[in-house]
């Protein structure tokens, strides 16, 4: 197992390193860090006669960055970094490329800025890494109150690995596990047909709604049994992403775990819209568990 932490000199990066180190320790995994400097290859192309000197300067910059990051981690976290990758180029692309070439199982990256449904969205680097990484990605935010891990699932094949990961995360931290799934009545019951005639979507009768809720609750409980975990279940109603974020805030969850669909990579499929919105909007750390589709 391998955990790659994307690092710079900011506080959010330190939180990612803190949580990435804890994850690596819990899994018995190898820990490495990755820092991306501005690209230098284009300078060599513009000034080929100076390429040897530029190459030496770039190498010196990389070594200086490696030393500075090692000292930063030592001074702020008391952590000795033994494996530091220094890359050059587009930040998100180089993080994704390094994670894939190194064979990382997880990437940990910090979230810049305030977050929430009506606040500033996730920084572009973290968002792009989440969208394009081949592996699971932990977007680390400071833990306000430890004690709850929330797993969001639609019970699809893509979301079931997230339940396994969430159960393991709750066990590692001694947190309470809560598994939630959302019912979007308007999406499920005649919304398209109603839209064609300009009418509000018809909701099912109350007794049918109750039956659906009970059936979903039972299915969630069975899913917990299936993965050998104990926890509570919640049936949410409304827009899936919004309700997941709201439930996480009400529970004061330390971590939200969601599944990510599809093959990935710089030229491959990105996250599903629900997972992406949760990553952008949650105030807690979010672990997107990558479901690796068959080729």
Average pLDDT over residues 233-259: 94
Model confidence over 41-87: pLDDT tens digits? 544 444 455 555 545 666 888 899 999 999 999 999 999 998 999 99
Q: Are 132 and 159 in contact (CB under 8 A)?
A: no
Domain identity same for 1 and 93 = yes
Which pLDDT does position 277 carry in this prediction? 85
Domain identity same for 115 and 90 = yes
The domain of 186 spans 144-295
Strand partners, 179: 151, 233
Question: Which residue, among 186, 216, 219, has the nearest Cα to 201 in the 3D structure?
Answer: 186
- Judge whether residue 121 has pLDDT over 90: no
Domain identity same for 15 and 46 = yes
Model confidence over 8-39: pLDDT tens digits? 888 889 999 999 999 999 999 999 999 999 87
CA pair distance 30, 27, nearest whole angstrom: 9
255: exposed, middle or buried (Cβ count in 10 Å: 0-12, 13-18, 19+)? buried
Which pLDDT does position 111 carry in this prediction? 81
Domain identity same for 159 and 249 = yes
Which pLDDT does position 116 carry in this prediction? 42
- Judge whether residue 102 has pLDDT over 90: yes
Q: Using 50, 70 and 90 to split pLDDT, how confident is the model at 177? A: very high
Q: Which residue has the higher pLDDT, 112 or 24?
A: 24
Domain identity same for 149 and 66 = no
- The domain boundary, picked from 87, 116, 142, lies at 142
Q: Using 50, 70 and 90 to split pLDDT, how confident is the model at 40? A: low
Domain identity same for 137 and 166 = no
CA pair distance 133, 260, nearest whole angstrom: 10
Instruction: Scan for tokens 């940990």, then name that residue.
Output: 108
Which pLDDT does position 16 carry in this prediction? 94
Domain identity same for 148 and 294 = yes
CATH number (domain holding residue 293): 3.40.50.620
Length of the chain: 295
Q: For the chain, what is the domain count?
A: 2
Question: Which residue, among 6, 34, 17, 22, has the nearest Cα to 123 in the 3D structure?
Answer: 6
- Judge whether residue 293 has pLDDT over 60: no
Domain identity same for 149 and 266 = yes
Angle, alpha carbons 181-184-185 (nearest 5°): 130
Which pLDDT does position 60 carry in this prediction? 85
Domain identity same for 84 and 24 = yes
Q: Which residue has the higher pLDDT, 268 or 96?
A: 96
- Judge whether residue 119 has pLDDT over 50: no
Which pLDDT does position 131 carry in this prediction? 86
């Amino acid at each position: 197992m391998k955990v790659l932490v994307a690092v710079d000199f900011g506080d959010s990066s330190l939180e990612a390193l803190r949580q990435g180190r804890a994850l690596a320790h819990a899994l018995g995994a190898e820990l490495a860090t990755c820092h991306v400097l501005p690209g230098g290859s284009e300078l060599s192309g513009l000034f080929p006669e100076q390429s040897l000197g530029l190459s030496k300067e770039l190498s010196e910059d990389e070594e200086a960055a490696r030393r500075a990051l090692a000292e930063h981690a030592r001074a702020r976290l008391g952590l000795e970094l033994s494996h530091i990758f220094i890359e050059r180029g587009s930040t998100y692309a180089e993080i994704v490329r390094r994670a894939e070439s190194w064979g990382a199982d997880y990437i940990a990256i910090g979230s810049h800025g305030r977050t929430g449904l009506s606040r500033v969205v996730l920084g572009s680097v973290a968002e792009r890494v989440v969208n394009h990484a081949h592996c699971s990605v932990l977007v680390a935010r400071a833990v306000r109150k430890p004690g709850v891990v929330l797993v969001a699932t639609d019970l699809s094949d893509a979301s079931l690995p997230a339940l396994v990961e969430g159960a393991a995360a709750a066990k590692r931290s001694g947190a309470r596990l809560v598994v939630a799934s959302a019912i979007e009545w308007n999406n499920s019951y005649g919304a398209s047909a109603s839209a064609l005639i300009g009418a509000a979507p018809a909701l099912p009768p109350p007794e049918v709604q109750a039956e659906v809720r009970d059936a979903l609750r039972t299915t969630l409980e069975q899913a917990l049994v299936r993965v050998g975990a104990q926890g509570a279940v919640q049936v949410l109603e409304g827009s899936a992403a919004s309700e997941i974020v709201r439930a996480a805030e009400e529970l004061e969850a330390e971590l939200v775990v969601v599944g990510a669909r599809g093959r990935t990579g710089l030229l491959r499929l990105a996250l599903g819209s629900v997972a992406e919105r949760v990553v952008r909007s949650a105030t807690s750390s979010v672990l997107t568990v990558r479901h690796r589709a068959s080729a």
